């Protein structure tokens, strides 16, 4: 699961613990949450962070929510987590 923050001044990726317990990945994108623009930006940003093609990143659930379930084809969970950790700010 990831949380998206649209309309940010810069693109970012970081871990946050909003409830003080379970950390989640937060992706900030510059575009507003309108007409799917933020979803497209999230796919592109995650592809860049994970070093995969944007076509490998799919939003499985949460197209109209800030909390999303993502699937990335071609890499396992451990490798994905390692790549996100390496590039997070």
Give the rounded distance of the alpha carbon of 15 from its chain centre.
11
Span of 27-31, 51-55, 76-80 with lowest mean pLDDT? 76-80
Q: CA-CA-CA-CA torsion for 63, 68, 74, 77, nearest 10 degrees? A: -170
Residues 6+ apart with CB under 8 A from 51: 83
**pLDDT-derived band at 56, boundaries 50, 70, 90:** very high
**pLDDT-derived band at 89, boundaries 50, 70, 90:** low
**pLDDT-derived band at 18, boundaries 50, 70, 90:** confident
Domain boundaries of the chain, sorted by first residue: 2-87
What phi-psi label fits residue 62: left (phi over 0), alpha (psi between -120 and 50 degrees) or beta? left
CATH superfamily of 2-87: YggU-like (3.30.1200.10)
Quote the pTM value: 0.89
Integer-rounded Cα radius of gyration of the chain: 12
């Amino acid at each position: 699961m990831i949380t998206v923050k649209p309309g940010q001044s810069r693109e970012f990726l970081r871990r946050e613990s909003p409830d003080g317990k379970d950390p989640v990945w937060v992706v900030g994108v510059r575009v507003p949450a309108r007409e799917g623009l933020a979803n497209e930006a999230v796919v592109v940003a995650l592809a860049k962070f994970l070093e995969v093609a944007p076509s490998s990143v799919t939003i499985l659930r949460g197209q109209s929510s800030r909390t999303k379930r993502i699937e990335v084809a071609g890499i396992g969970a451990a490798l994905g987590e390692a790549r996100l950790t390496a590039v997070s700010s």
